A = this chain, B = another copy of it.
Amino acid sequence: MNNFDFYNPTQITFGKDRMGELAHLVPAAAKVLILVGGSSAEKNGTLAQVREALGQRTHSTFSGIEPNPSFETSMKAVQMVREQGFDYLLAVGGGSVIDATKFIAAAVLFKGDAWDILLQFGGNITEAMPFGVVLTLPATGSEMNNGSVITRQELGAKLPFRNNHVFPKFAILDPTKTYTLPAKQLANGVVDAFVHIVEQYLTYPVNGSVQDRFAEGLLQTLIEIGPRLLTATEPNYDDRANLVWSATLALNGLIGAGVPEDWATHLIGHELTAKYNIDHARTLAVVLPSMLHERRVQKHAKLLQYGQRVWGIQTGSDEERITAAIEATRDFFERMGLPTRLSAYGLGNEAIDLVVAQLQAHGMTQLGEHSDVTPEVSRRVLVGAL
């Protein structure tokens, strides 16, 4: 097992009918800026519950944070916070709103050009505004971690940052908030969480027994509940609760502590999103199966373990079992309604040239747990995903 540091101070308030806890979780004297994406939180009554729970606190709402939240939109919120003197932020939404809120929390107090935060991946953040989360869309795990991804639209750049100052103070996770989500967003959430886990698990063995078992348990849970989420005629509370808690634990730092991590699939996927506006989870569904095929030698031992423990693949030669494990993964994504081929999005070789060029432009030339995913390897992965 590798040495590691683990720290996660976010307070989780999980379950039905927990919105009233906002009254205790947000400081009584706070002047609160609520941040939302589109109009769904207003329409489905979540914002009304939030405002009621905030009681006498002064609050306003900033709406319009887009999927793949932008630097440009975030800076408008930064300006609003500065001008109107808010001292607490409350993200009401999914990963995009939370990621933007993290950036805003840091940017408001940042000395200098806030874009530098992203150029230095957050290492230059020394303070941030306090903020909480009301989660409405499980997927990214942003509600219980210190990471965020921001897109600068004018540059077509999607860059991650992380810093312990941007852990949410709290996150309210109410599984019933997922009841109004369209099937596509549920499916995206399952696949996003699934690939988060894979990025921290399907590398090479370091005898991290606990980390492996936890990762496998989360994957098994998602495989079990995923298809049911799509076919259920009425939402099942426990399935929704397990989805929410799996997605949170998939990326709260726990299963990655002490083991190698990959993230090449994500970084290639980011470029596909930045260039072609494909949903984040959908880029992962396209890239991952091909990535696993391409790197089956480096990932040999863990692919066998994955096949056996997660998919119950016990027979055949090593190579047959590895192929079966990868194809089971592809089949799962397809069953969740996510295509696993670039051609499903009308993309061909020209797109591959562009994505590889963008990877090079962004310095993404040594990806993966062995730093051996060069642009040439990324190209082969994308060709394999045609």
Contact = CB atoms under 8 A, between A and B. Distances in A.
A3 B7 contact: no
Given A217-B217, A221-B213, A245-B1, A14 B18 contact: no
A218 B213 contact: yes
A214 interface: yes
For this chain, the copies found in one complex come to 2
A5 B1 contact: no
Interface residues on A, range: 35 or more
A81 interface: no
A238 interface: yes
Interface string A220-255: 110011000000000001100110011001000010
Interface in A186-223: 206-210, 212-214, 216-218, 220-221
Interface in A70-129: none
A12 interface: yes
A67 interface: no
Given A210-B242, A217-B210, A13 B5 contact: yes
A11 B164 CA distance: 11
Contact of A249 (B1, B12, B210): B210
Q: Which 4 A-B pairs have the closest CB atoms?
A: A213-B217, A3-B15, A207-B238, A9-B9
Interface of A: 1-18, 175, 206-210, 212-214, 216-218, 220-221, 224-225, 237-238, 241-242, 245-246, 249, 254, 257-258
Given A1-B237, A5-B14, A214-B217, 4 more contacts: A3-B17, A4-B12, A6-B14, A208-B242
